[in-house]
Amino acid sequence: MAKLTAEDFALREREVELETKELNLEVLRDNVKHIRARQERQQMSHAQVESALKEFVESQERGFLQCNHRKGGKNLEGARGRGTDDKYAIIRHQLPIGDLAVICTRCHKVWLPTGLCLLLGIKADPEAYRQACEWPTDNEDSGSALFVPIKGGKEVK
């Protein structure tokens, strides 16, 4: 085997160095490609979730409009929220803050007082809320309370 001169050794060392740099660059490019593909999938996934949520909300709104919130009804008409009873299929629920929420047990529409709507950042409909509060029903009202644990006469935090 021929002896390597210092010049040959330096040349081979430089070739190995360049090849290593090229491989590192190739690895980095491949990593960037995978990162971009993952970001693209996430963006598509986010768009799909947004679209599904929008579709769900629109479907729910259609259900609210089709429901007359009454009890009774026969066959599919009753199941579709077209009750025929004089009484309404609602529950009045007193929230821990004292406000009253009215909930339809058929379509799950919720009527809230104006102040609570403003607090939650949702559109208020005071007239619809007033009407819902006055609808006749034989369902029992419900309520809830806040539980504050007390130990030794002091509130536990």
Predicted local confidence at residue 98, as pLDDT: 86
Instruction: Classify residue 139 as exposed, middle or buried by CB count within 10 Å of its CB (0-12, 13-18, 19+).
Output: middle
153 and 138 Cβ atoms separated by less than 8 Å: no
User: DSSP label at 5?
Assistant: P
pLDDT in tens, 9-61: 888 889 999 999 999 999 999 999 999 988 888 887 888 888 889 999 898 88
Closest C-alpha among 109, 110, 105, 102 to residue 73: 105
CA triple 122-101-78, angle to 5 deg: 100
What distance in Å separates the CA atoms of residue 117 and residue 124, rounded to the nearest whole number? 5
Check: pTM over 0.75? Answer yes or no: no
**Rg, C-alpha atoms of the chain:** 33
Signed CA dihedral, 117, 120, 82, 143: sign only: negative
For the CA atoms of 20, 22, 28, 31, the dihedral, rounded to the nearest 10 degrees, stands at: -100
Q: What's the confidence (pLDDT) of residue 74?
A: 74
Q: So what's the pLDDT on residue 4?
A: 74
